[in-house]
Amino acid sequence: MLLAHKIELRPTPEQAIYLDKACGSKRHCYNQLLAHFSKPENKWSKTAAYQYYIKVIRQEFQWYSEVSSRVTRNAIDDLDNAFSHFFRRIKLKQKAGFPRFKKKDINDSFALRESAKFDVIGRELRLEKLKTRIEMRQSLRFQGVTKQVTISKRAGKYFASILVETEDYNPNDNDRQASVGVDFGIKELAVLSTGTVFAANQKLKANLKKLAKLQRNLAKKIKGSNHRAKAKLTVAKLHFRIAKQRQALLHELSDYLTKTFSVITIEDLNVKGMVKNRKLSRAISDAGFGYLRQMIKYKAHLRNCIIVIANRFFPSSKTCSCCGKIKENLTLADRVFNCECGFSADRDLNAALNLNKYGQDTLQPDLKCASEQSQTVDLFTASVLTV
């Protein structure tokens, strides 16, 4: 399976010059080709483009050789793409839109599509014709053979999108546990029906506190002042850091869930976070919950897990996971769930146990069917089951 991981780069000023040069060479070459093939006497074909590139363009612009030769070849591939779209639209009698010239700083990018032209070593990226390695903000998320790298520049920042051929998402089913229920807790990030607890990240918590303070500070500054502009930038930077921390945490949780269990039951909406408790673990509240759900869904699809999303009116917290009796007078202050039947457990663990049971009950017929024909079941439709 091919998967891409996009990582921010931390190039030195010299390395940034190389990256800019590579983007520039590709754009320049693209525009040269387009100018030539815009003339009615020159009909576009990839072979004609290649001939023109070798005999004319490359001779004229020797500075192309300062970067990997593959970079300017990209221009031919990209323009070929643009032309085939153009011809297809003409054929379909749609509004055609002739390929346009590329402008500086708008979608600047280049790609190296052969493994030998680049390398990923830990948190460093080697590119052909660049003597030093570029530092990456993270290491690759997937194990496997690197196939292609695309470098792009957005708002002054550089990113590498690395394509990896990986076995990482074909786990050995024998190692997996059958099912789990996950309660997104009030105190913790998540509590699993197995008893495993994903604690709320303390660093993240501290940063959220800091953010609130900075935002109060910002509100006091006079509009249009330099102080305000400065404070605004500080807030924006911290926002970015928090987003990254939150993302890392959610990746860790979703990775663990989809690697460890075949069936995962979660709640429909973060109802608790939305209406009942404003102090809910901020790590997943707000936009985080939707994002986490999306992450679990796509990883579940890749790893062939089944996701069960419990009905939003399912009283996961108020039901006794032992006898099934519903305790209407349970409040948010009750950290421990005590039932008349003698059952007693942590509130979030009780909810997780209920969710796990809910998933098992829901899937009873399907589980049997899925295990009988696990090879043929269409998991894209089966993996996300909303009930």
Would you count residue 341 as binding Zn ion (CB under 5 A)? yes
DSSP letters of 171-211? --GGGSEEEEEEE--SSSSEEETTS-EEPPPHHHHHHHHHH
**Closer by beta carbon to Zn ion, 330 or else 387:** 330
# residues near Zn ion by CB under 5 A: 7
Which residue has tokens 């990883």?
299
- Which of 339, 355, 363, 370 is close enough to bind Zn ion by CB under 5 A? 339
**Closer by beta carbon to Zn ion, 304 or else 354:** 354
**Closer by beta carbon to Zn ion, 121 or else 336:** 336
**Closer by beta carbon to Zn ion, 159 or else 343:** 343
- Which of 16, 199, 211, 322 is close enough to bind Zn ion by CB under 5 A? 322
- Assess contact for 347 and 336: CB atoms under 8 A: yes
**Closer by beta carbon to Zn ion, 4 or else 330:** 330
DSSP code, position 275: I
The Cα-based distances of 1 to 68, 84, 265, 303 in angstroms read 28, 27, 26, 11
- All residues at 6 or more sequence positions from 317 whose CB lies less than 8 Å from its CB, including other chains: 183, 272, 330, 337, 347, 350, 351, 354
The least CB distance from residue 387 to Zn ion, in Å, is 24
Question: Which of 295, 288, 315, 289 has the alpha carbon at shortest distance from 384?
Answer: 295
The least CB distance from residue 191 to Zn ion, in Å, is 19
- Which of 35, 96, 323, 332 is close enough to bind Zn ion by CB under 5 A? 323
The least CB distance from residue 344 to Zn ion, in Å, is 9
Would you count residue 320 as binding Zn ion (CB under 5 A)? yes
Q: What is the dihedral of CA 235, 236, 241, 242, to 10 degrees?
A: 70
Would you count residue 336 as binding Zn ion (CB under 5 A)? no
**Closer by beta carbon to Zn ion, 251 or else 318:** 318
Of the ranges 143-151, 193-201, 262-270, 337-345, which one interacts with Zn ion (CB under 5 A)? 337-345
Would you count residue 326 as binding Zn ion (CB under 5 A)? no
Burial of residue 331, with CB atoms counted within 10 A of its CB: 0-12 exposed, 13-18 middle, 19 or more buried: exposed
Looking only at the bridges linking them, the beta strands covering 124-127 and 134-136 are antiparallel
Q: Which residues bind Zn ion (CB under 5 A)?
A: 320, 322-323, 325, 339, 341, 343
